[in-house]
């Protein structure tokens, strides 16, 4: 992914989102030929010359100081995720091309990590990387994501399932939000690690095969994804409203452990118990892998409706 293009489009889309009124420039309203702020207005708010800001928006962040980045983030009213993304883009620009695109490699899950997953018995838990590959689960996590594991769209990946498998529209009760969040996470990762060949290949695949993905990718939205609530409609147990916590694994760079929990005394808590019963009878663990596979007849196409 070209850093100059990424920087140019990110800054231009952030500038377009802010109205003069939001920036405290109501007197500068009236007939405007561009959405949002003009370049000169951003430059004024950031305390830099128009020529300098124009250079930045053309994609040249190499050597930009932290104070300028902070001023720019303030002028564009960036949130925490957008601010971090701007810093990632500046870091990549200053790298000067020293980093090289790495070949795609299979990421192995350490036995200790799988043991940790398996010890979480009452909640779905899984490990993913920055491009949203589903690398390992516990029993409940495998049961929750049964459709992702047997998806014809390809190897287990949240984005691939969401945009290429029609069943995702049933699984995610708020599909639009799930789609927006997924692409924002991928865009964040692209800024953090622009030399990830696997991510570039996935973006290319989804851009070719999904208009829904292309539109969202072009928006350049980013998001940090550490805690919140997700809503699913599982084909076996019905609606699930799950709180989640995402924790980066300090010993395994780029990997994240996510754990879902149900609020006690809710229908979701009861549904998780039912899901655990189904997992115990319908799923098994191959001896040579931490991944679960479905051995029941309940995963047949006729059961999915």
- Blockwise average pLDDT, block size 10, the chain, 305 residues: 90 94 76 83 96 95 95 97 96 72 69 95 95 96 95 93 97 97 95 90 96 97 93 97 96 94 97 94 55 40 35
Residue 281 has a pLDDT of: 84
3-state secondary structure of 81: helix
How is 223-248 classified by DSSP, letter by letter?
Answer: ---SEEEEEEEETTTEEEEEEEEEEE
pTM, 2 dp: 0.85
Rounded to whole angstroms, the Cα distance separating 127 from 162 reads 18
- The fold adopted by the segment(s) 3-94 is 434 Repressor (Amino-terminal Domain) (1.10.260)
**Residue 234 main-chain phi, psi, to 5 deg:** -80, 140
244 forms beta bridges with 228, 260
Fold matches, 3-94 and 111-304: no
- Residues with Cβ < 8 Å from 29, sequence gap 6 or more? 20, 21
Task: Report how far apart, in Å, the C-alpha atoms of 265 and of each of 125, 140, 273 are.
Answer: 20, 19, 12
Q: Is there a contact between 239 and 233 (Cβ–Cβ < 8 Å)?
A: yes
| Tokens encoding 78 | 């960036």
| Tokens encoding 253 | 């760079």
Q: How far, in whole angstroms, is CA 184 from its chain's centroid? A: 5
Q: What b/e string do you get for 179-197 counting C-beta neighbours within 10 Å, with b at 16 or more?
A: bebbbbbbbbbbbbbbebe
- Per-domain boundaries in the chain: 3-94, 111-304
Q: Is there a contact between 62 and 68 (Cβ–Cβ < 8 Å)?
A: no
Closest CA to 140 of 128, 152, 126: 126
Residue 234 has a pLDDT of: 97
Phi-psi region of 253 (alpha: psi -120 to 50; beta: other; left: phi over 0): beta
Residue 285 has a pLDDT of: 47
Residue 107 has a pLDDT of: 76
Residue 297 has a pLDDT of: 39
Per DSSP, helices labelled H in the chain are: 3-17, 39-46, 50-57, 66-75, 80-94, 111-119, 139-144, 146-149, 158-164, 168-171, 175-192, 197-209, 211-218, 267-282
Q: Is there a contact between 217 and 187 (Cβ–Cβ < 8 Å)?
A: yes
Which CATH number among 3.30.450.180, 3.10.620.30, 3.60.21.10, 2.40.40.20 corresponds to the domain 111-304? 3.30.450.180
């Amino acid at each position: 992914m070209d850093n100059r293009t990424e920087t140019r489009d990110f800054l231009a889309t952030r500038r377009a989102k802010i109205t003069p009124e939001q920036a405290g420039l109501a007197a500068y309203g009236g007939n405007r030929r561009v959405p949002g702020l003009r370049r000169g207005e951003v430059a004024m708010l950031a305390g830099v010359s128009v020529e300098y800001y124009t250079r930045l928006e053309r994609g040249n962040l190499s050597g930009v100081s932290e104070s300028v980045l902070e001023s720019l983030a303030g002028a564009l009213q960036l949130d925490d995720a957008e601010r971090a993304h701007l810093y990632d883009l500046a870091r990549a620009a200053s790298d000067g091309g020293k980093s090289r695109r790495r070949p795609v490699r299979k990421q192995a899950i350490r036995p200790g990590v799988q043991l940790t997953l398996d010890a979480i018995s009452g909640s779905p838990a899984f490990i993913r990387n920055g491009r949203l590959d589903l690398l390992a689960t516990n029993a409940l996590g495998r049961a929750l994501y049964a459709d992702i594991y047997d998806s014809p769209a390809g190897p287990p990946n949240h984005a691939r399932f969401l945009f290429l498998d029609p069943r995702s529209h049933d699984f995610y009760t708020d599909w639009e939000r799930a789609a927006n969040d997924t692409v924002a996470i991928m865009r964040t990762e692209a800024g953090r690690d622009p030399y990830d060949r696997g991510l570039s290949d996935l973006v290319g695949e989804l851009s070719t095969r999904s208009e829904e993905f292309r539109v969202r990718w072009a928006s350049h939205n980013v998001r940090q994804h550490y805690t919140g609530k997700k809503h699913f409609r599982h084909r076996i147990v019905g609606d699930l409203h799950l709180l989640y916590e995402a924790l980066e694994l300090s010993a395994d760079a780029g990997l994240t452990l996510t754990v879902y929990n149900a609020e006690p005394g809710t229908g979701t808590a009861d549904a998780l118990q039912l899901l655990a019963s189904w997992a115990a009878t319908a799923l098994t663990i191959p001896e040579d892998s931490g991944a679960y596979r479905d051995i029941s007849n309940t995963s047949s196409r006729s059961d999915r409706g």
